[in-house]
Structure 1
Amino acid sequence: MTIVDDYPAAFTAWENRRITRDHVEVIVKAGTVVPAEVRPAFEEAAIEICKRDIAVRVKEPLRALAERMHPRDFTQRHRDAAAGRCVRVLPGADGMSDLIATLPTVIAAGMLDRLTQMGQSVKDARAAGAAGTGEPGAATAGADPAGAAFGEAAAASSGQPEEPDTRTMDQLRADALADLVLAGAPAVDPTYGTDAPGPLGAIRARVQVVVTADTLTGTDHGPAGAVGTGLVDADTARELAGQTASWDRLFIDPITRTPVEIDTYRPTASMRRLLQARDQHCRFPGCRRAAIRCEIDHTIDHALGGHTHIYNLAHLCQRHHSMKQFTDWKVRQLGGGVLEWTSPGGRIYREDVPIPAVCFTPEPDPPPGARTGHPFDEPPPF
Protein backbone atom coordinates (compact mmCIF):
# COMPACT_ATOMS: atom_id res chain seq x y z
CA MET A 1 0.00 0.00 0.00
CA THR A 2 2.88 2.37 0.70
CA ILE A 3 4.30 1.78 -2.78
CA VAL A 4 0.94 2.16 -4.52
CA ASP A 5 -0.28 5.21 -2.58
CA ASP A 6 2.92 7.17 -1.86
CA TYR A 7 5.24 6.19 -4.75
CA PRO A 8 3.03 5.81 -7.87
CA ALA A 9 5.79 6.86 -10.28
CA ALA A 10 8.14 4.20 -8.90
CA PHE A 11 5.35 1.64 -9.13
CA THR A 12 4.75 2.56 -12.77
CA ALA A 13 8.45 2.36 -13.57
CA TRP A 14 8.52 -1.08 -11.99
CA GLU A 15 5.51 -2.14 -14.10
CA ASN A 16 7.27 -0.92 -17.23
CA ARG A 17 10.44 -2.79 -16.20
CA ARG A 18 12.54 0.35 -16.13
CA ILE A 19 13.54 -0.52 -12.55
CA THR A 20 13.32 -3.66 -10.40
CA ARG A 21 11.47 -4.49 -7.20
CA ASP A 22 14.77 -4.08 -5.32
CA HIS A 23 15.04 -0.54 -6.70
CA VAL A 24 11.55 0.24 -5.43
CA GLU A 25 12.39 -0.97 -1.94
CA VAL A 26 15.51 1.19 -1.85
CA ILE A 27 13.53 4.23 -3.01
CA VAL A 28 10.86 3.71 -0.35
CA LYS A 29 13.42 3.23 2.41
CA ALA A 30 15.44 6.29 1.42
CA GLY A 31 12.29 8.38 1.07
CA THR A 32 11.15 7.91 4.65
CA VAL A 33 12.87 11.18 5.61
CA VAL A 34 11.33 13.17 2.73
CA PRO A 35 8.18 15.21 3.48
CA ALA A 36 5.10 14.46 1.39
CA GLU A 37 5.24 17.78 -0.47
CA VAL A 38 8.64 17.04 -2.04
CA ARG A 39 8.18 13.29 -2.44
CA PRO A 40 7.12 13.41 -6.15
CA ALA A 41 10.25 15.35 -7.13
CA PHE A 42 12.42 12.97 -5.07
CA GLU A 43 10.71 10.01 -6.71
CA GLU A 44 11.42 11.17 -10.25
CA ALA A 45 15.06 11.92 -9.48
CA ALA A 46 15.46 8.59 -7.70
CA ILE A 47 14.09 6.68 -10.70
CA GLU A 48 16.68 8.27 -12.99
CA ILE A 49 19.47 7.21 -10.61
CA CYS A 50 18.09 3.68 -10.35
CA LYS A 51 17.96 3.28 -14.12
CA ARG A 52 21.75 3.67 -14.29
CA ASP A 53 22.83 1.06 -11.72
CA ILE A 54 21.79 -1.97 -9.67
CA ALA A 55 19.89 -1.60 -6.42
CA VAL A 56 22.83 -2.36 -4.12
CA ARG A 57 24.88 0.50 -5.55
CA VAL A 58 22.20 3.19 -5.42
CA LYS A 59 21.49 3.05 -1.68
CA GLU A 60 23.97 5.73 -0.72
CA PRO A 61 23.18 8.06 -3.68
CA LEU A 62 19.46 7.87 -2.90
CA ARG A 63 20.07 8.53 0.77
CA ALA A 64 22.16 11.60 -0.10
CA LEU A 65 19.48 12.73 -2.59
CA ALA A 66 16.78 12.52 0.07
CA GLU A 67 18.85 14.59 2.50
CA ARG A 68 19.56 17.27 -0.14
CA MET A 69 15.90 17.60 -1.15
CA HIS A 70 14.60 17.93 2.40
CA PRO A 71 13.37 21.51 2.99
CA ARG A 72 15.01 21.70 6.41
CA ASP A 73 18.75 21.96 6.87
CA PHE A 74 20.39 18.65 7.76
CA THR A 75 22.29 20.13 10.70
CA GLN A 76 19.11 21.47 12.24
CA ARG A 77 17.35 18.13 11.81
CA HIS A 78 20.31 16.30 13.33
CA ARG A 79 20.21 18.51 16.41
CA ASP A 80 16.53 17.68 16.91
CA ALA A 81 17.13 13.99 16.29
CA ALA A 82 20.09 13.86 18.68
CA ALA A 83 17.78 14.97 21.48
CA GLY A 84 16.06 11.60 21.11
CA ARG A 85 19.20 9.51 21.71
CA CYS A 86 18.49 6.62 24.05
CA VAL A 87 19.37 3.09 25.12
CA ARG A 88 16.79 0.33 25.39
CA VAL A 89 16.65 -3.42 25.91
CA LEU A 90 14.46 -5.72 23.83
CA PRO A 91 14.06 -9.16 25.47
CA GLY A 92 14.66 -12.05 23.11
CA ALA A 93 14.54 -15.83 23.21
CA ASP A 94 16.70 -18.30 25.16
CA GLY A 95 17.76 -15.79 27.81
CA MET A 96 19.19 -13.30 25.32
CA SER A 97 18.28 -9.65 24.72
CA ASP A 98 19.12 -6.90 22.24
CA LEU A 99 20.73 -3.79 23.69
CA ILE A 100 19.94 -0.99 21.24
CA ALA A 101 21.60 2.41 21.46
CA THR A 102 20.30 5.24 19.27
CA LEU A 103 23.26 7.60 18.87
CA PRO A 104 24.71 10.10 16.39
CA THR A 105 26.21 8.23 13.45
CA VAL A 106 29.79 9.34 14.06
CA ILE A 107 29.63 8.10 17.68
CA ALA A 108 28.11 4.76 16.66
CA ALA A 109 30.69 4.26 13.90
CA GLY A 110 33.51 5.13 16.30
CA MET A 111 32.20 2.65 18.88
CA LEU A 112 32.05 -0.16 16.34
CA ASP A 113 35.56 0.65 15.09
CA ARG A 114 37.04 0.61 18.59
CA LEU A 115 35.30 -2.66 19.48
CA THR A 116 36.62 -4.16 16.24
CA GLN A 117 40.17 -3.06 17.06
CA MET A 118 39.87 -4.60 20.53
CA GLY A 119 38.60 -7.85 19.06
CA GLN A 120 41.41 -7.88 16.51
CA SER A 121 43.97 -7.34 19.28
CA VAL A 122 42.63 -10.39 21.10
CA LYS A 123 42.79 -12.44 17.91
CA ASP A 124 46.39 -11.29 17.32
CA ALA A 125 47.35 -12.21 20.88
CA ARG A 126 45.62 -15.55 20.40
CA ALA A 127 47.67 -16.21 17.26
CA ALA A 128 50.88 -15.13 18.99
CA GLY A 129 50.12 -17.43 21.89
CA ALA A 130 49.44 -20.32 19.56
CA ALA A 131 52.74 -19.70 17.77
CA GLY A 132 54.62 -19.57 21.06
CA THR A 133 53.11 -22.74 22.52
CA GLY A 134 52.68 -24.74 19.36
CA GLU A 135 49.02 -25.30 20.19
CA PRO A 136 46.36 -24.16 17.74
CA GLY A 137 43.91 -21.64 19.13
CA ALA A 138 45.72 -21.03 22.41
CA ALA A 139 45.31 -17.63 24.03
CA THR A 140 47.83 -15.68 26.08
CA ALA A 141 47.03 -14.98 29.69
CA GLY A 142 45.29 -11.67 30.17
CA ALA A 143 44.51 -11.23 26.50
CA ASP A 144 40.77 -11.61 26.99
CA PRO A 145 39.18 -8.17 27.45
CA ALA A 146 35.91 -9.68 28.64
CA GLY A 147 37.18 -12.03 31.31
CA ALA A 148 35.66 -10.09 34.21
CA ALA A 149 32.18 -9.98 32.75
CA PHE A 150 31.95 -13.52 31.42
CA GLY A 151 34.06 -15.55 33.79
CA GLU A 152 36.65 -16.38 31.13
CA ALA A 153 39.74 -15.22 32.99
CA ALA A 154 42.90 -17.11 32.16
CA ALA A 155 43.38 -20.28 34.19
CA ALA A 156 47.18 -20.10 34.14
CA SER A 157 47.27 -18.41 37.55
CA SER A 158 45.54 -21.42 39.12
CA GLY A 159 47.94 -23.92 37.62
CA GLN A 160 45.34 -25.32 35.22
CA PRO A 161 45.73 -25.31 31.43
CA GLU A 162 43.99 -22.54 29.55
CA GLU A 163 40.86 -23.17 27.55
CA PRO A 164 41.39 -22.27 23.89
CA ASP A 165 39.78 -18.98 22.93
CA THR A 166 37.61 -19.77 19.92
CA ARG A 167 35.35 -16.70 20.00
CA THR A 168 34.37 -15.07 16.73
CA MET A 169 34.82 -11.37 16.01
CA ASP A 170 31.15 -10.70 16.74
CA GLN A 171 31.48 -12.46 20.10
CA LEU A 172 34.67 -10.57 20.92
CA ARG A 173 33.02 -7.24 20.12
CA ALA A 174 30.01 -8.10 22.28
CA ASP A 175 32.21 -9.21 25.21
CA ALA A 176 34.37 -6.10 24.98
CA LEU A 177 31.30 -3.86 24.91
CA ALA A 178 29.90 -5.58 28.00
CA ASP A 179 33.16 -5.12 29.90
CA LEU A 180 33.49 -1.47 28.89
CA VAL A 181 29.96 -0.62 30.00
CA LEU A 182 30.00 -2.67 33.21
CA ALA A 183 33.53 -1.96 34.42
CA GLY A 184 34.81 1.10 32.54
CA ALA A 185 34.65 4.80 33.35
CA PRO A 186 33.46 7.61 31.04
CA ALA A 187 36.16 9.78 29.50
CA VAL A 188 34.39 12.91 30.77
CA ASP A 189 33.27 12.62 34.40
CA PRO A 190 31.45 15.74 35.69
CA THR A 191 31.38 14.32 39.23
CA TYR A 192 35.17 14.25 39.59
CA GLY A 193 36.46 16.72 42.15
CA THR A 194 33.00 17.72 43.42
CA ASP A 195 30.95 16.78 46.46
CA ALA A 196 29.18 14.05 44.49
CA PRO A 197 29.27 10.48 45.86
CA GLY A 198 32.18 9.60 43.61
CA PRO A 199 33.48 9.30 40.05
CA LEU A 200 31.15 7.67 37.56
CA GLY A 201 33.61 4.82 37.19
CA ALA A 202 32.80 3.73 40.75
CA ILE A 203 29.13 3.11 39.88
CA ARG A 204 28.32 -0.59 39.64
CA ALA A 205 25.51 -2.14 37.68
CA ARG A 206 22.61 -3.73 39.56
CA VAL A 207 20.23 -6.36 38.23
CA GLN A 208 17.31 -7.67 40.26
CA VAL A 209 16.99 -11.42 39.72
CA VAL A 210 14.15 -13.57 41.05
CA VAL A 211 15.00 -17.26 41.38
CA THR A 212 13.20 -20.17 43.00
CA ALA A 213 14.81 -22.15 45.79
CA ASP A 214 14.75 -25.31 43.63
CA THR A 215 16.69 -23.62 40.83
CA LEU A 216 19.12 -22.11 43.30
CA THR A 217 19.90 -25.45 44.94
CA GLY A 218 20.08 -27.32 41.63
CA THR A 219 16.96 -29.39 42.15
CA ASP A 220 15.75 -28.21 38.77
CA HIS A 221 17.14 -26.04 35.98
CA GLY A 222 14.23 -23.70 35.40
CA PRO A 223 15.06 -20.14 34.38
CA ALA A 224 15.24 -17.20 36.75
CA GLY A 225 13.77 -13.81 35.96
CA ALA A 226 15.60 -10.50 35.51
CA VAL A 227 13.00 -8.02 36.71
CA GLY A 228 11.91 -5.69 33.93
CA THR A 229 13.98 -7.46 31.28
CA GLY A 230 13.48 -11.18 30.65
CA LEU A 231 14.59 -14.67 31.64
CA VAL A 232 18.00 -15.72 32.93
CA ASP A 233 19.44 -19.23 32.59
CA ALA A 234 19.92 -21.25 35.76
CA ASP A 235 23.75 -21.37 35.58
CA THR A 236 24.01 -17.57 35.39
CA ALA A 237 21.48 -17.16 38.22
CA ARG A 238 23.52 -19.46 40.47
CA GLU A 239 26.74 -17.64 39.58
CA LEU A 240 25.15 -14.30 40.49
CA ALA A 241 23.77 -15.81 43.69
CA GLY A 242 27.26 -16.81 44.76
CA GLN A 243 28.48 -13.21 44.38
CA THR A 244 25.66 -11.29 46.05
CA ALA A 245 26.02 -9.99 49.60
CA SER A 246 22.32 -9.62 50.44
CA TRP A 247 19.12 -11.53 49.76
CA ASP A 248 15.48 -10.58 49.71
CA ARG A 249 13.26 -13.53 50.58
CA LEU A 250 9.86 -13.53 48.86
CA PHE A 251 6.84 -15.24 50.36
CA ILE A 252 4.45 -16.24 47.56
CA ASP A 253 0.75 -16.95 47.92
CA PRO A 254 0.41 -20.58 46.70
CA ILE A 255 -2.96 -19.88 45.03
CA THR A 256 -2.62 -16.44 43.47
CA ARG A 257 1.18 -16.79 42.99
CA THR A 258 1.66 -13.17 44.02
CA PRO A 259 4.20 -11.95 46.61
CA VAL A 260 2.57 -11.35 49.99
CA GLU A 261 5.66 -10.44 52.00
CA ILE A 262 9.36 -9.74 51.52
CA ASP A 263 12.17 -10.18 53.97
CA THR A 264 15.93 -9.73 53.88
CA TYR A 265 18.65 -10.78 56.28
CA ARG A 266 20.71 -7.61 56.10
CA PRO A 267 19.01 -4.38 57.20
CA THR A 268 18.79 -1.66 54.58
CA ALA A 269 20.80 1.54 54.85
CA SER A 270 17.72 3.49 55.99
CA MET A 271 17.04 0.87 58.68
CA ARG A 272 20.61 1.15 59.97
CA ARG A 273 20.41 4.94 60.18
CA LEU A 274 17.10 4.81 62.04
CA LEU A 275 18.35 2.14 64.47
CA GLN A 276 21.51 4.11 65.21
CA ALA A 277 19.43 7.20 65.97
CA ARG A 278 16.99 5.20 68.11
CA ASP A 279 19.35 2.98 70.07
CA GLN A 280 22.39 5.29 70.43
CA HIS A 281 24.25 2.52 72.30
CA CYS A 282 24.20 -1.20 73.10
CA ARG A 283 20.71 -2.10 74.33
CA PHE A 284 21.84 -4.49 77.08
CA PRO A 285 20.97 -2.98 80.47
CA GLY A 286 23.81 -0.79 81.69
CA CYS A 287 26.01 -1.08 78.57
CA ARG A 288 26.79 2.23 76.88
CA ARG A 289 28.99 1.16 74.00
CA ALA A 290 28.18 3.45 71.05
CA ALA A 291 25.81 2.03 68.45
CA ILE A 292 28.29 2.70 65.66
CA ARG A 293 30.60 0.16 67.42
CA CYS A 294 27.85 -2.43 67.88
CA GLU A 295 26.18 -5.08 65.77
CA ILE A 296 22.54 -5.09 64.68
CA ASP A 297 20.92 -8.17 66.17
CA HIS A 298 17.69 -9.96 65.27
CA THR A 299 15.82 -10.27 68.55
CA ILE A 300 14.12 -13.37 67.11
CA ASP A 301 16.80 -15.08 65.04
CA HIS A 302 16.35 -14.75 61.30
CA ALA A 303 17.04 -18.48 60.96
CA LEU A 304 14.07 -19.14 63.27
CA GLY A 305 11.67 -16.98 61.28
CA GLY A 306 12.50 -13.54 62.70
CA HIS A 307 11.96 -10.75 60.21
CA THR A 308 14.32 -7.93 59.35
CA HIS A 309 12.06 -5.16 60.62
CA ILE A 310 12.65 -2.35 63.07
CA TYR A 311 10.53 -4.04 65.73
CA ASN A 312 12.82 -7.11 65.61
CA LEU A 313 16.20 -5.34 65.50
CA ALA A 314 18.40 -3.72 68.12
CA HIS A 315 22.05 -2.82 68.59
CA LEU A 316 24.18 -5.10 70.79
CA CYS A 317 27.90 -4.95 71.36
CA GLN A 318 29.85 -8.05 70.41
CA ARG A 319 30.07 -9.26 74.02
CA HIS A 320 26.36 -8.99 74.76
CA HIS A 321 25.46 -10.27 71.29
CA SER A 322 27.40 -13.45 72.03
CA MET A 323 25.91 -13.62 75.53
CA LYS A 324 22.38 -13.49 74.10
CA GLN A 325 23.22 -16.18 71.58
CA PHE A 326 25.16 -18.65 73.73
CA THR A 327 23.84 -18.21 77.31
CA ASP A 328 20.46 -18.37 79.03
CA TRP A 329 19.87 -14.62 78.82
CA LYS A 330 16.60 -13.97 76.94
CA VAL A 331 15.24 -10.80 75.34
CA ARG A 332 12.00 -9.80 73.70
CA GLN A 333 10.72 -6.57 72.21
CA LEU A 334 7.66 -4.96 73.76
CA GLY A 335 7.08 -2.48 70.94
CA GLY A 336 8.36 1.00 70.31
CA GLY A 337 11.94 -0.16 70.71
CA VAL A 338 11.49 -1.21 74.36
CA LEU A 339 13.43 -4.39 75.26
CA GLU A 340 12.71 -6.75 78.12
CA TRP A 341 15.67 -8.84 79.29
CA THR A 342 15.35 -11.95 81.45
CA SER A 343 18.44 -13.18 83.32
CA PRO A 344 19.27 -16.87 83.77
CA GLY A 345 17.93 -16.51 87.31
CA GLY A 346 14.58 -15.20 86.06
CA ARG A 347 15.04 -11.53 86.95
CA ILE A 348 13.52 -9.09 84.45
CA TYR A 349 15.18 -5.86 83.29
CA ARG A 350 13.38 -3.28 81.16
CA GLU A 351 15.49 -1.33 78.68
CA ASP A 352 13.61 1.73 77.42
CA VAL A 353 14.52 3.67 74.29
CA PRO A 354 17.28 6.18 75.12
CA ILE A 355 16.14 9.80 75.23
CA PRO A 356 18.30 12.01 72.98
CA ALA A 357 20.35 14.52 74.91
CA VAL A 358 19.81 17.15 72.23
CA CYS A 359 16.26 17.76 71.06
CA PHE A 360 13.76 20.55 70.43
CA THR A 361 11.67 21.57 73.44
CA PRO A 362 8.72 23.99 73.30
CA GLU A 363 9.03 27.26 75.19
CA PRO A 364 6.70 27.56 78.21
CA ASP A 365 3.76 29.92 77.81
CA PRO A 366 4.44 33.33 79.41
CA PRO A 367 2.34 34.28 82.46
CA PRO A 368 -0.66 36.53 81.81
CA GLY A 369 0.35 40.15 81.20
CA ALA A 370 4.04 39.36 80.78
CA ARG A 371 5.93 40.99 77.93
CA THR A 372 7.84 38.78 75.54
CA GLY A 373 9.86 41.49 73.86
CA HIS A 374 8.03 41.20 70.55
CA PRO A 375 6.96 44.66 69.28
CA PHE A 376 3.43 43.50 68.53
CA ASP A 377 3.00 42.47 72.17
CA GLU A 378 3.32 46.11 73.25
CA PRO A 379 0.14 48.18 73.73
CA PRO A 380 -0.69 50.71 70.99
CA PRO A 381 0.95 52.68 69.52
CA PHE A 382 3.55 49.91 69.93
Structure 2
Amino acid sequence: SGGSCVGGIVELHVPANLLTQLSTHAGGYRRYGAVIADIAAQYAHHDRVSAALDARPEDRFAHAGLARHIQVRDRYCCHPGCRRPASKSQLDHTVDHARGGATTQGNTGPGCTRHHLIFKHQLGWALTQPEPGHFEWTSPLGQVYRTRGEPIIPDLPEPLTSHNTPDQRHHLDSDDGDRAILRLPPPEGEPQPPPAATTEPPNDQPPPF
Protein backbone atom coordinates (compact mmCIF):
# COMPACT_ATOMS: atom_id res chain seq x y z
CA SER A 1 0.00 0.00 0.00
CA GLY A 2 3.04 2.28 0.20
CA GLY A 3 2.41 3.25 3.82
CA SER A 4 4.96 2.85 6.59
CA CYS A 5 4.54 0.20 9.27
CA VAL A 6 5.15 1.17 12.88
CA GLY A 7 6.85 -1.57 14.87
CA GLY A 8 5.45 -2.85 18.13
CA ILE A 9 5.80 -5.53 20.78
CA VAL A 10 3.17 -8.21 21.30
CA GLU A 11 3.11 -9.88 24.71
CA LEU A 12 1.09 -13.00 25.52
CA HIS A 13 0.37 -13.57 29.20
CA VAL A 14 -0.63 -17.22 29.64
CA PRO A 15 -0.63 -19.12 32.94
CA ALA A 16 1.48 -22.30 32.72
CA ASN A 17 -1.44 -24.62 33.49
CA LEU A 18 -3.57 -23.02 30.77
CA LEU A 19 -0.72 -23.35 28.26
CA THR A 20 -0.51 -27.05 29.11
CA GLN A 21 -4.22 -27.51 28.49
CA LEU A 22 -4.09 -25.63 25.19
CA SER A 23 -1.06 -27.50 23.90
CA THR A 24 -2.65 -30.85 24.75
CA HIS A 25 -5.48 -30.05 22.34
CA ALA A 26 -3.54 -27.82 19.94
CA GLY A 27 -4.77 -29.80 16.95
CA GLY A 28 -8.29 -28.62 17.57
CA TYR A 29 -7.44 -24.94 17.13
CA ARG A 30 -6.84 -25.14 13.36
CA ARG A 31 -4.31 -22.55 12.21
CA TYR A 32 -3.64 -21.40 15.78
CA GLY A 33 -2.55 -24.89 16.80
CA ALA A 34 0.94 -24.39 15.35
CA VAL A 35 1.34 -21.14 17.29
CA ILE A 36 0.27 -22.79 20.55
CA ALA A 37 2.59 -25.73 19.95
CA ASP A 38 5.52 -23.41 19.25
CA ILE A 39 4.92 -21.38 22.43
CA ALA A 40 4.64 -24.58 24.48
CA ALA A 41 7.89 -25.89 22.97
CA GLN A 42 9.70 -22.68 23.87
CA TYR A 43 8.32 -22.73 27.40
CA ALA A 44 9.54 -26.31 27.84
CA HIS A 45 13.08 -24.84 27.83
CA HIS A 46 12.17 -22.11 30.32
CA ASP A 47 14.61 -23.21 33.02
CA ARG A 48 17.52 -23.45 30.59
CA VAL A 49 16.71 -20.07 29.05
CA SER A 50 16.42 -18.45 32.50
CA ALA A 51 19.80 -19.84 33.55
CA ALA A 52 21.37 -18.49 30.36
CA LEU A 53 20.33 -14.91 31.19
CA ASP A 54 23.31 -14.48 33.52
CA ALA A 55 25.73 -16.58 31.48
CA ARG A 56 27.77 -13.60 30.19
CA PRO A 57 28.27 -11.25 33.18
CA GLU A 58 31.49 -9.76 31.77
CA ASP A 59 29.79 -8.40 28.62
CA ARG A 60 29.61 -4.62 28.32
CA PHE A 61 26.05 -4.72 26.96
CA ALA A 62 23.16 -7.03 27.75
CA HIS A 63 22.51 -9.70 25.15
CA ALA A 64 19.07 -9.82 23.50
CA GLY A 65 17.57 -12.38 25.87
CA LEU A 66 18.63 -10.50 29.01
CA ALA A 67 17.54 -7.15 27.56
CA ARG A 68 14.06 -8.43 26.78
CA HIS A 69 13.79 -10.06 30.20
CA ILE A 70 14.60 -6.74 31.91
CA GLN A 71 12.08 -4.88 29.75
CA VAL A 72 9.29 -7.32 30.59
CA ARG A 73 10.21 -7.54 34.27
CA ASP A 74 10.50 -3.83 35.02
CA ARG A 75 8.02 -2.35 32.52
CA TYR A 76 9.20 1.28 32.93
CA CYS A 77 12.23 3.35 33.86
CA CYS A 78 13.11 2.32 37.40
CA HIS A 79 13.22 5.88 38.80
CA PRO A 80 10.22 6.60 41.07
CA GLY A 81 7.29 8.07 39.18
CA CYS A 82 8.82 7.80 35.70
CA ARG A 83 6.55 6.30 33.04
CA ARG A 84 9.08 5.99 30.23
CA PRO A 85 8.62 2.45 28.85
CA ALA A 86 11.52 0.11 29.52
CA SER A 87 11.63 -0.75 25.83
CA LYS A 88 12.47 2.91 25.12
CA SER A 89 14.91 3.34 28.00
CA GLN A 90 18.59 2.55 28.34
CA LEU A 91 19.74 -0.61 30.09
CA ASP A 92 21.75 0.72 33.00
CA HIS A 93 24.17 -1.18 35.23
CA THR A 94 23.19 -0.53 38.85
CA VAL A 95 26.86 -0.83 39.76
CA ASP A 96 28.62 0.67 36.74
CA HIS A 97 30.33 -1.78 34.43
CA ALA A 98 33.49 0.31 34.64
CA ARG A 99 33.49 -0.25 38.42
CA GLY A 100 33.19 -4.02 38.10
CA GLY A 101 29.41 -4.29 37.83
CA ALA A 102 28.20 -7.47 36.14
CA THR A 103 25.76 -7.63 33.26
CA THR A 104 23.16 -9.77 35.03
CA GLN A 105 19.52 -9.68 36.08
CA GLY A 106 20.48 -8.40 39.52
CA ASN A 107 22.65 -5.54 38.28
CA THR A 108 20.70 -4.26 35.27
CA GLY A 109 17.62 -2.08 35.04
CA PRO A 110 15.94 0.34 32.65
CA GLY A 111 16.71 4.02 33.00
CA CYS A 112 15.52 6.81 30.75
CA THR A 113 18.11 9.31 29.56
CA ARG A 114 17.11 11.88 32.16
CA HIS A 115 17.25 9.62 35.20
CA HIS A 116 20.16 7.48 34.05
CA LEU A 117 22.58 10.10 32.76
CA ILE A 118 21.49 13.22 34.63
CA PHE A 119 20.09 12.12 38.00
CA LYS A 120 22.50 9.24 38.58
CA HIS A 121 25.69 10.50 36.98
CA GLN A 122 25.40 14.28 37.38
CA LEU A 123 23.04 15.15 40.23
CA GLY A 124 24.39 12.63 42.73
CA TRP A 125 21.47 10.23 43.13
CA ALA A 126 22.64 6.80 44.35
CA LEU A 127 21.09 3.58 43.06
CA THR A 128 21.15 0.06 44.50
CA GLN A 129 19.30 -3.13 43.59
CA PRO A 130 18.88 -5.26 46.76
CA GLU A 131 17.32 -8.07 44.71
CA PRO A 132 16.60 -8.43 40.98
CA GLY A 133 13.93 -5.95 39.93
CA HIS A 134 13.80 -4.08 43.27
CA PHE A 135 15.47 -0.67 43.17
CA GLU A 136 16.41 1.85 45.87
CA TRP A 137 17.17 5.44 44.89
CA THR A 138 18.76 7.75 47.46
CA SER A 139 18.53 11.47 46.77
CA PRO A 140 21.37 13.89 47.57
CA LEU A 141 19.37 14.87 50.69
CA GLY A 142 19.30 11.27 51.90
CA GLN A 143 15.67 10.45 51.10
CA VAL A 144 15.23 6.83 49.99
CA TYR A 145 12.73 5.85 47.29
CA ARG A 146 11.97 2.18 46.55
CA THR A 147 10.52 1.00 43.27
CA ARG A 148 9.79 -2.26 41.50
CA GLY A 149 8.21 -3.18 38.19
CA GLU A 150 4.46 -3.37 37.96
CA PRO A 151 3.14 -6.95 37.97
CA ILE A 152 2.33 -8.30 34.52
CA ILE A 153 -0.94 -9.71 35.85
CA PRO A 154 -2.13 -7.79 38.96
CA ASP A 155 -3.33 -9.80 41.93
CA LEU A 156 -7.07 -10.32 42.15
CA PRO A 157 -8.87 -8.40 44.92
CA GLU A 158 -9.95 -10.19 48.04
CA PRO A 159 -13.37 -11.85 47.54
CA LEU A 160 -16.36 -10.40 49.35
CA THR A 161 -17.63 -12.47 52.23
CA SER A 162 -20.75 -12.62 54.36
CA HIS A 163 -18.77 -10.94 57.15
CA ASN A 164 -18.74 -7.58 55.39
CA THR A 165 -19.72 -4.71 57.60
CA PRO A 166 -23.33 -3.43 57.34
CA ASP A 167 -22.24 -0.10 55.90
CA GLN A 168 -20.87 -1.75 52.75
CA ARG A 169 -22.39 -0.29 49.60
CA HIS A 170 -23.18 -3.77 48.26
CA HIS A 171 -24.54 -6.73 50.18
CA LEU A 172 -23.95 -10.43 49.72
CA ASP A 173 -27.15 -12.41 49.48
CA SER A 174 -27.12 -16.21 49.33
CA ASP A 175 -30.00 -18.64 49.45
CA ASP A 176 -28.01 -21.85 49.81
CA GLY A 177 -24.81 -20.47 51.33
CA ASP A 178 -22.72 -21.63 48.37
CA ARG A 179 -23.32 -19.12 45.60
CA ALA A 180 -23.26 -15.52 46.71
CA ILE A 181 -25.19 -12.99 44.67
CA LEU A 182 -24.07 -9.40 44.65
CA ARG A 183 -27.04 -7.13 45.18
CA LEU A 184 -27.61 -3.51 45.96
CA PRO A 185 -29.04 -2.73 49.37
CA PRO A 186 -32.80 -2.15 49.43
CA PRO A 187 -33.75 1.42 48.53
CA GLU A 188 -34.54 3.71 51.35
CA GLY A 189 -38.11 4.98 51.52
CA GLU A 190 -39.05 8.47 50.50
CA PRO A 191 -38.42 10.96 53.29
CA GLN A 192 -41.58 11.77 55.18
CA PRO A 193 -42.61 15.43 55.42
CA PRO A 194 -42.31 16.96 58.85
CA PRO A 195 -45.53 17.04 60.88
CA ALA A 196 -47.61 20.16 60.47
CA ALA A 197 -47.19 22.73 63.21
CA THR A 198 -50.09 22.78 65.66
CA THR A 199 -51.63 26.13 66.61
CA GLU A 200 -53.37 26.90 69.88
CA PRO A 201 -56.86 28.40 69.61
CA PRO A 202 -56.82 32.16 70.27
CA ASN A 203 -57.36 33.15 73.89
CA ASP A 204 -59.86 36.03 74.09
CA GLN A 205 -59.49 36.51 77.84
CA PRO A 206 -57.62 39.70 78.83
CA PRO A 207 -54.46 39.18 80.83
CA PRO A 208 -54.75 39.70 84.57
CA PHE A 209 -53.63 43.07 85.99
TM-score by length of 1: 0.26
Greater C-alpha radius of gyration: 1
TM-score by length of 2: 0.47
Q: Higher relative contact order at CA 8 Å, sep ≥6: structure 1 or structure 2?
A: 2
The structure that is helix-richer by fraction is 1
